[in-house]
Structure 1
Amino acid sequence: MKKTTINTLLVLILTGLAFSCDSEENKKGRFLLKGNEKMEENDPKSAMGFYREALEMDSTYADAYYNKALAHLQLNQLTETIQDLSLAIRYKPDYYDAIFQRGLGYLDNGEFYNAREDGKKLLLLDDKNWKSYFLKGLVEEKLKNFPEALNAFTKASELNPKNSDLLVNQATILYYQKDFAAAQQVLNEAMDINPLEPNLHNLKSMIYFDEQNYTGALDAVEKAISLDKSQAYFYNNKGLYLLFLDRQEEALDLINQSIKMDSKNPFALRNKGIYYVMKGDKISALQYLVELNQDFPDMDLVEEYLEKAYTL
């Protein structure tokens, strides 16, 4: 249920350049721009071919490594993305955008302390850029340092007040801290900026669920799904709410759909365990809940429903 609502805002800003004469510098620049054209055509594989051509001419060409990294990212090749970003930074140590993207990549790869180091570098390079604090907030959230995360997201929002995602980030941390009233207040501010932000409505649904307003939770998550049908955890949350509205079979279909979309979400496995407890199937419930209780002892509802499973 509580998969983070934080949107990492991967704005893939390609680096380009202008040129006029046929120097060696401009020849490699042409390959860079041809690669960028392919990226705009949503053809990252062809784009990488042009970036490689540029790198054959200059193996220290930081912009080509950076753009090639973004092509890998489009193909969900996270290891290659981080490798190319690291090369871009090797040859251009103050490359802000490359450090930012690598920090996000480290986060997605579970390398939280490497991401923290990149966050520190960004703050040294530019402590007036909202992205410096945004990355810091994401790292501290992953490390469960919630006060530090909230301070960082608040600072990012002060620097970029029209960005509704940053407000949703703040509300997410307040939700983790169980300050539901403050979270709702921040979400209302985000609504004023962008009422069509799906993560906003998903987070509202999670607050309603914790307040035992299951109908409100269902309505809110259905709004999130109507705005973005690609998020597995939206369907999983809807499945959870349906379980508590005594619509177990509908719930199971959605939970299974979520697992097909993202098999690594432990909250979906927990919800299957809850389903089997509600159906009185002790053996199946224990298959899910025992391991989850070992691996995620702080996950909400796991201990409660494990105890219920043992009493079946």
Structure 2
Amino acid sequence: MINPNKILLGICLLAIIGCDSIEDKKGRFLLKGNEKLEENDPKSAIVFYNEALALDSAYADAYFNKAMAQLRLHQLDETILDLSKAIQIRPDYFEAIFQRGLSYLDNGEFYKAKEDADRLLQLDANNWKSYFLTGLSQEKLKKFAEALVAFEQASILEPSNSDLLVNQATLLFYQKDFGKAKEIISKAELLNPSEPNLHNLRSMILFEEKDLDGALISVEKAIAFDNRQAYFYNNKGLYLLFLGKPEEAIDLINQSIQMDSKNPFAMRNKGIYYVMQGDKISALQYLKELSEKYPDMDLVQEYYQKAQAL
């Protein structure tokens, strides 16, 4: 005999399942996507975010999280597109604007990054990220004085952030104010002694000051803290060139180029290597184009002339 209570219970369960709202369903897809992202599986995360968006095409958080997953896959155009969709839905979406500005910088769209920085300042002039993005975009636009002011303001708002100090020191390095740059690097080191960029920057200053051994020690510290940065290996290669160790140097420079084939400083260093080897044809192959595209890059004109004189 069928128990009517069981029938009633089944009906109630079906009713509960049937009443599961779109809001609940899309939220679960978002959470599943987040779990996959935490597991470093961005492709699967994107699948879940798309499921959430299929339920609600105006789900700003799903567009944002999907963009962050695409960023992990180095899909910058797709990242920018989805962040723009999130911002279109929520014009005051601060974090989406911030991340889009950073993505514009990575994509070489510096003026668009500056526009997003201006937008952040209008939204929240008391948030360090507004000034951080402003500083980064102004730096890319070669407006170093404006960038320095922005980074200084960001540091006032976020004094425990060592990266902001390293950015200030970098700008001072560009301006050849090595003494002040080193002072700020020391402050950053007190906050975070394992920050690789401060050690790399210190190495660059020491190289400019002709302290080659000190430069080598500092860049090796940078590599010890982060062995994934192509420009660290490139800098170490440069120092080894000037320390009279060309074969060790060229191995590191080539390694850097394999990691990042678009770095003109690595091409410069390879040209310098060939000048030191007396190989005029190979040296000119690298330095002639650099002298035209980057005429103000340190050492380029000097070694282009040396290559021509071989």
Aligned residue runs from structure 1 range 12-23, under 5 A? 22-23=20-21
- From 249, 273, 298, give the equivalent of 1:251: 249
Q: How far has the Cα of 1:25 moved from its partner? A: 1.3
Aligned residue runs from structure 1 range 1-312, under 5 A? 22-312=20-310
Instruction: Please state whether the residue corresponding to 1:280 is helix, strand or coil.
Output: coil
Instruction: Please state whether the residue corresponding to 1:128 is helix, strand or coil.
Output: coil
Name structure 1 gaps, 5 residues minimum: 1-20
Code of the residue aligned with 1:273 in structure 2: it is G
* Mapped partners of 1:290, 1:86: distance in 2: 40
Instruction: Please state whether the residue corresponding to 2:20 is helix, strand or coil.
Output: coil
Code of the residue aligned with 2:112 in structure 1: it is N
Q: How far has the Cα of 1:23 moved from its partner? A: 2.3
Which has the higher mean CA deviation after the structures are superposed, 127-136 or 24-33? 24-33
* Mapped partners of 1:282, 1:127: distance in 2: 54
* Mapped partners of 2:145, 2:293: distance in 1: 25
Q: How far has the Cα of 1:311 moved from its partner? A: 1.0
* Mapped partners of 2:290, 2:244: distance in 1: 23
Instruction: Please state whether the residue corresponding to 1:93 is helix, strand or coil.
Output: coil
Instruction: Please state whether the residue corresponding to 2:227 is helix, strand or coil.
Output: coil
* Mapped partners of 1:35, 1:283: distance in 2: 53
More helix by share: 2
Aligned to 1:15: none
* Mapped partners of 1:47, 1:256: distance in 2: 35
* Mapped partners of 2:22, 2:43: distance in 1: 25
* Mapped partners of 1:74, 1:305: distance in 2: 39
Aligned to 1:18: none
Q: 1:164-195 CA deviation, whole Å, 9 max, x = no partner?
A: 11100000000000000000000010011011
* Mapped partners of 2:129, 2:92: distance in 1: 15
* Mapped partners of 1:256, 1:69: distance in 2: 33
Code of the residue aligned with 2:165 in structure 1: it is L
Code of the residue aligned with 2:164 in structure 1: it is L
Code of the residue aligned with 1:67 in structure 2: it is N
Which has the higher mean CA deviation after the structures are superposed, 148-157 or 23-32? 23-32
* Mapped partners of 2:189, 2:204: distance in 1: 16
* Mapped partners of 1:227, 1:206: distance in 2: 17
Q: How far has the Cα of 1:24 moved from its partner? A: 1.9
Q: How far has the Cα of 1:59 moved from its partner? A: 0.6
* Mapped partners of 1:68, 1:191: distance in 2: 35
Q: How far has the Cα of 1:27 moved from its partner? A: 1.5
Code of the residue aligned with 1:103 in structure 2: it is G
Q: What is the alpha-carbon root mean square deviation over aligned residues?
A: 0.8
* Mapped partners of 1:227, 1:28: distance in 2: 40
The percent identity for this pair of structures is 71
Q: How far has the Cα of 1:30 moved from its partner? A: 1.0
* Mapped partners of 1:281, 1:45: distance in 2: 47
Q: How far has the Cα of 1:74 moved from its partner? A: 0.7
Code of the residue aligned with 2:68 in structure 1: it is L
* Mapped partners of 2:38, 2:255: distance in 1: 32
Q: How far has the Cα of 1:22 moved from its partner? A: 3.1
Aligned to 1:12: none
* Mapped partners of 2:42, 2:50: distance in 1: 12
Aligned to 2:8: none
* Mapped partners of 1:24, 1:41: distance in 2: 26
Name structure 2 gaps, 5 residues minimum: 1-18
More relative contact order in 1 or in 2 (CA 8 Å, sep 6+)? Answer: 1
Code of the residue aligned with 2:77 in structure 1: it is T
Q: Structure 1 segments of 4 or more deviating over 6 A?
A: none
Task: Give the alignment's TM-score, normalised by structure 1.
Answer: 0.93
Code of the residue aligned with 2:268 in structure 1: it is R
Q: 1:110-133 CA deviation, whole Å, 9 max, x = no partner?
A: 101110110001000111110000
